[in-house]
Chains A and B, each alone.
Chain A
Amino acid sequence: MNKGKKVILMGIFIALGLVLQYIESLIPIAVLPGGKIGLSNIVTIINIYLLGPWNAIIIATLRAFLGALLFGGVSAIPYSVVGAILSSSIMGYMIKKTDKFSPVGISVLGAITHNFGQILVAMAIFMSFKIIVYLPVLIVLGVLGGFITGICALKILKHIKKVSFFGKDNFGV
């Protein structure tokens, strides 16, 4: 894949992630205020397979930054950005280093590291260890959300495999 094609694809994927984030903000989850499925995680997983982990981390970070500015407000920026960097690097590392996990397992791992990153930021900002009481709920939500996004990513990767535009690769499925 040449450089121009890559830059254009990265722009499109940032826009796609932002749209998914907007759609997600319209779906309220009653269990925990602020709980989310993490639909834009689908884009991050596909990016790791298509464009490589480094580009995926850049896309996820920019998407999180813009998404927080658009839908969350300035105070949400550190939470989104740290969560995105942590989850995309863990997912990228796991995909490159081991083939034991399917995209579903990778997605679950990414979702819980995203939540864990946000807890860490909250503990650092509020200087309070007590916020860790949210972790069990966030792990369960992360597993559920990660499973849903993982299934979606798996289905999409199966179709992307057939498109010659993205080059010949089996994309892990």
Chain B
Amino acid sequence: MTTKYDRILIIFLLVFAIILYCFTLCFAFDVSDTVRVSLDGKEYGRYSLLTDEDVKIFTEYGNCILSIKNREAEVVSSECPDKYCENMGKISKGSQVIVCVPLHLVIDVVGQSSVDKVAY
């Protein structure tokens, strides 16, 4: 049914996925305490993970609310049709990102600023 090459391909892809996953984890160790919200590839705003707040994000495609609590950020309500961004869960590390395609939003975790990175 399946040939030898099929099995080699599947094993290669799974090993590649594991290596890539370990590689993305390496981005997580840097000091990340700020969520960055980007709209259409341009920066919309930065919010500190250290202060608990509900951030309202207004876009021309619809609005959504980003909730920051206990050093974790999460989209709690969104006006987009598919609600995938609400189901993406909480982000707190440098390698994590929330993408909302209908609202053209990318929400990721970054270090405070380049100046502070030098200070750390």
B-contacting residues of A (Cβ < 8 Å)? 33-34, 72-73, 75-76, 79, 100-102, 104-105, 108-109, 112, 122, 125-128, 130-137, 139-140, 142-143, 147, 154
Contacts and interface: CB of A to CB of B under 8 A. Distances in A.
Most A-side CB within 10 Å, residue of B3, B5, B13, B24: B13
Contacts of A109: 9
Contact of A131 (B17, B18, B21, B97): B97
A101 B3 contact: yes
A108 B21 CA distance: 19
- The secondary structure that dominates the A interface is helix
B17 A133 contact: no
B87 interface: yes
Contact of B13 (A72, A75, A139, A154): A139
A75 B82 CA distance: 11
Contact of A33 (B14, B16, B81, B88): B88
Nearest to A118: B101
Nearest 8 CB-CB pairings of A with B: A127-B41, A105-B6, A33-B84, A136-B21, A139-B17, A100-B5, A136-B17, A33-B87
Contacts of A154: 1
Given A105-B5, A128-B97, A130-B108, 6 more contacts: A75-B104, A130-B97, A133-B95, A135-B20, A136-B18, A139-B16
Interface of B: 1-3, 5-6, 9-10, 13-14, 16-18, 20-21, 24, 27, 38, 40-41, 81-82, 84-85, 87-88, 95-97, 99, 101-102, 104, 106, 108
Contact of A139 (B20, B27, B82): B20
Most B-side CB within 10 Å, residue of A130, A137, A147: A130
Given A33-B87, A131-B106, A133-B97, A140 B2 contact: no
A78 B117 CA distance: 37
